[in-house]
Every structure is written in C-alpha cells, then in structure tokens.
Amino acid sequence: MAESETDITTDSQTSLQEEYLNSSSNLQEGQLIEGTVIEISTESVFIDIGYKSEGKIPIEEFKTKPEIGDVVSVVLISKEGKGGQVIVSKGKADEKVFWKDIKNAFQEKTAVDGKFISSNKGGFEVNLGHNIIGFCPLSKTDVVRVEDPEKYIGMKSKFLIERLYSDNKLKIVVSRRNFLEQEISAKKEKFFKETELDSVVSGTVKSFTSFGAFVDLGGFDGLLHINDMSWGHVTRPKDYVKKDQKIELKVIKLDPEGQKINLSLKHFTPDPWSVFEDKYAVDDIVKGKVTKLSDFGAFIEIEEGIEGLVHISELSWVKRVKHPSEILTIGDEVETKILGYDLASGRVSLGLKQVLQNPWDNLEETFPIDHRLKAKIVKLTNAGAFVELTEGIDGFLHVDDLSWTRRVKNPGSILKVGEEIEVVIMGIDKTAHRIKLGYKQLSDDPWKYLKKNFPKNSPIEGEITNITDFGVFVKVIGDIEGLVSKYNLVEPGADDSRDEDYLSRFKTGQKVKALVTEINPKTQRLSLSIKDYDRSIERKEISKYIHDDVEGSNATFGDFLKGMGSDSEN
C-alpha cells in the first residue's frame, strides 16, 4: 500500500461518512432519520418525519412501490425549501445505509453482492450497488485459472471485502475466490459429516487425467480412479465417462484428514471373480479380446473384469515367438483354452496353441523320410542353414550335408537367405522339434562309385586343378580331387635332385593319367601317383616286348635285361 493510503479503521470510517443521528426534536440537515409513509401519488411518496411539514420523495427512488405506514430511512437535506417545505432524500439515505453495510461486511467477513462490469489487465471492476465500484484482482476471481475473462462480464456473484482504503478516494478490493473457497469448505465439511461409505452420490465429470477422472460433487472434487471405472481392463477413462456428464457413483473411500474422496462406477455390480467357478472350468474353450501385449505374453479379457495371460510359450506349437505382436494385435478376438486359475490372486492361465492341433504330432505323414521338396532358406549360421518347410516349421541343413566332395567352411559362400533350394528329409525328432535335412543326398555318393569302379592300383584320368609345393591336385570323375604328392609325380633321372623345379613340368588344366594308390570314402581321401602309372605302362610295354621277341625261346627275363645291357654298351 502507498504511503498516502490509510486503512480505514472503525474510528476513521466515521470521518468518511456522516454520523448516523437518531430522530430527535432537534433535526439537523444531513441527518439520517426515519419517517413514515403517509401518502402516495403517481409521482411522489410523502413522508412524515415529525416535523412541521412532510417530506416528498420521487416514487422512482423506490425499488418496490411502498405502502402507507411503511417506515423509510431518509436524509434531511433542508428543513425549509423554497416553498417552506422540508426536503429529504431516500437515495442519499440508501447510500449511507449501504456504506454502513459495507463496513460491517468488511469487519465481520460476510459476503456482499456484486456484478462484473468490465475487465482490465489486472482484474475486474465490480459494481457493488449505488454506483460503488470495487476491484477484484484476476487471481481472486475464481478457484480455477481464469482463461477467458470475457465470460465473467455481466456475471452476478457474492464477494468478500478484502480491503477498504483511502488514496484521495475511497477504494474497495473484493475477492470472489475467497467467498467460493469458504462455500466449498462448508459444503465439503458437511459432505464428510453426513456421507457414509457405499453411499450413492451425484456429480458432474469435471476433468480427466491419465489415472482417472475428477467429478464435481458440488464445488469440490472426488476422484473416479481408472481402476474403479470397470471390473475389466480400462485404458482410456473417456471410454467410460464424458466431460460434463452427470453420473451417480458409489463412495468407496473417505479421508477427512487428507480431504480425499474416492468414487466408483464398478461397485454397482458384483466382482466377477466371485462367480468365476460358476461359469468356467479348466480345459474350457473361451472367447476373449486381446487387451495388452508384453514381452512375456498377451493378456486376454474373457469377460469384463476377468483377464487371463497367454504366456509367450503358449502362443504357437511351431513358431519361435520373440514377441506376442508377431501373432496377435490389441483388439483381436481369439479363442483360448483355460489351463489353470487362482481365485485368490485373480489370475487365469490361458493357452492359444491348445485350441489348434499340434502339427508335430503327424509331421511324419506330411514329411516322410526321404521325401524331397523345394523350400526357402530363412537363416544361415556357421553350422548350416535353417530351411522353412511350412509356416512355423524349419528344418536344419548341416554344413556337412551340403556337398559330397567339397569341404564347406562357410554356408554363406554357396547359400543365400531367401533362396529356394531342393532338400531331402533325413530325420525327424518330434520330442526335440528338430528336422534333419540333406542336400548332397539328392545325388549318389561319388566316393562310393569311385571306390567300386576304381579300386586301389586302378588307372584313372583327371585334370590338374592346383599346384602346390607338396604336389598337385587332380580332379577326377564325380568332381573328386585327389592329391599327387611331389614324390609320386615323376621318376627322377640320374642327374635329377629333389630340389629341382620339376613341378614346372605341370600346368593347371593339364590332363594327366595316374594310378589310384589310396581311396577312403569315410575320410574322403584320394591319393594318386603319376609316377606309378608311368611304371605300370612301362611294365606293360616290356611285357609286350618279351611276349613278342622271346615267345618260344628258353631265354629268361634276366637274359633279356642282360641283352639290353649289352646293347647299351655298344
């Protein structure tokens, strides 16, 4: 308050208004006196104030038409007017009475009537009557935040007077908020005193939060929690109540100390768990709606207030489900089987896959051993490839079953995810849910063919595919590679040494003939010898020569060699 302002006290207020004077024989001008209505005309009301003449008041100064005999307060303006008639004013008297009421309302903290007439940046001007204007700050206008000041203009209400002060001019500060809070406090106190638990009360939905709705019970709020809207699963409070809706609710909790009131809609009906066993039993097939999905399963509402859990392991017989959203969507209506329940904790265990036949039970009928089919590769690992045989059922193709002849270290070098290949069913383990597939088994084992048709010491023809320091690799029939070690390549001459670069005599892609020295299908090992093949050919040539030149003679093979030696000497 500015230094020029002075609060009006009980003593100083008498200086701002003229003192009230009781009727006496010594009437003073400006005095507030009482008179009696003795006559009423169409334009005036005549008042007897106990003086030599009556006072005349225009009839429009009366809010309601008076009757003869009514006692009226007036202010004596003049004992004698121009015509010698006493002059009085009811308006000025009303103003004096009004200021007296204002003073009493301020001191006794009682409410006065007022009307919002205009607004400014700081608040509102309020007409308190008799053209007396008070000021109501914006923060003192309502118990809620004032968003639209214009909606208050023209509104009539009651106010408490907060301040009366003088700053060259009498000023009045009023508060509508204080009056409303006083009213609300009284109503709330009465509510807590007269209301019992389970009482039915009426209210209006005021606002929403994520956890429920606030209901106006007559100036104060009660909470309708989201869990008390329905016995069932509630995600959106607005699905059950609407703003400004008038509803009846049950009082389920009263806390006078904390000034909290909890309300309920669902308590108008019994708890569905109390009659669960009258409706359901284990192994029953029930319909329900998906209400929530989590990492560990899906919640299914089979009726309002009864929600069961389908664990992620109970969603599918065949599919490896990482999240229920792979199979279900919130809002889906599905059939499930009741696997078990616990009334005390309000839990039901449900199964989705149990309403369907387990495909593993008759899988051998669909995919018998040695059955061939085309299927898509869905995943690659270092050990092999998973191949989808039908929706949700994969078989495994091991890396060792990719090729009869090639040692595959990385399946990704010859296979691609999404590629369709032909495979053969080699085995089914229904207990472990595993299917073994083969790829190389689509054709005969070339090692067996080679073993049968090219036993040890058999000649064979092939093509050099690789040359190394320790020998050369030769690809023979069936794309089998055999190794010719460097010691089995050529017969060294007299002047040859093991360090001689005799490997240069061979080239990749060169056709060669060799002799099988070892063949082992189990270890997939094939050893060849070009040197031994050349020796066998040489023996055949010598044998032929002996047969042609010595046949019919008594000479021996030793004699033949001696003869060759003699020729060399010559």
Q: Per-residue pLDDT tens for 405-435?
A: 878 888 988 899 999 999 999 999 988 889 9
pLDDT of residue 352: 94
Q: Rounded mean pLDDT of the chain?
A: 83
Query: What's the first-to-final CA gap in the chain, in angstroms?
Result: 149
Least confidently predicted of 8-22, 164-178, 396-410: 8-22
pLDDT of residue 386: 94
Q: pLDDT at residue 191 above 80? A: yes
Instruction: Note the pLDDT tens digit of each residue in 150-168.
Output: 999 999 999 999 888 776 6
Helix or strand or coil: residue 207?
A: strand
The alpha helices in 389-487, defined as continuous H runs, are 446-453
pLDDT of residue 33: 77
Closest by alpha carbon to 174, among 90, 270, 250, 110? 110
Q: If you average pLDDT over residues 294-298, what whole number do you get?
A: 94
Interatomic CA distance for residues 459 and 455, integer angstroms? 9
Q: pLDDT at residue 88 above 70? A: yes
Place 82 in a pLDDT band, splitting at 50, 70 and 90: low
Place 19 in a pLDDT band, splitting at 50, 70 and 90: very low
Q: pLDDT at residue 13 above 50? A: no
Instruction: Note the pLDDT tens digit of each residue in 301-323.
Output: 998 889 999 999 999 888 888 99
Instruction: Note the pLDDT tens digit of each residue in 531-567.
Output: 888 887 777 766 665 555 555 555 554 554 444 444 4
Interatomic CA distance for residues 178 and 148, integer angstroms? 20
Place 76 in a pLDDT band, splitting at 50, 70 and 90: confident
The alpha helices in 419-529, defined as continuous H runs, are 446-453
Name the CA dihedral angle for 256, 261, 266, 272, rounded to a multiple of 10 degrees: -40
Q: pLDDT at residue 569 above 60? A: no
pLDDT of residue 567: 43
Kindly calculate the radius of gyration of the chain based on its CA atoms and give it in whole angstroms. 57
Q: pLDDT at residue 242 above 70? A: yes
Closest by alpha carbon to 226, among 243, 214, 244? 214
Q: pTM for the full model?
A: 0.44
- The domains of the chain, with CATH numbers, are 6-97 (2.40.50.140), 109-180 (2.40.50.140), 195-268 (2.40.50.140), 280-354 (2.40.50.140), 359-442 (2.40.50.140), 446-538 (2.40.50.140)
Q: pLDDT at residue 476 above 80? A: yes
Closest by alpha carbon to 363, among 302, 270, 429? 429
Instruction: Note the pLDDT tens digit of each residue in 363-399.
Output: 888 899 999 999 999 999 999 999 998 887 899 999 9
Residue type, 310: V
Q: If you average pLDDT over residues 123-130, what whole number do you get?
A: 89
Tokens 């085995």 appear where?
427
pLDDT of residue 463: 93
In the numeric block, which tokens belong to residue 197? 């638990």
Q: If you average pLDDT over residues 172-188, what whole number do you get?
A: 90
Better pLDDT: 443 or 309: 309
Instruction: Note the pLDDT tens digit of each residue in 341-370.
Output: 998 888 999 999 999 888 888 888 889 999
Neighbours of 206 (CB within 10 A): 15
Residue type, 496: D
Q: ∠414-418-424 over CA atoms, to 5°? A: 70
Instruction: Note the pLDDT tens digit of each residue in 91-104.
Output: 777 777 888 888 88
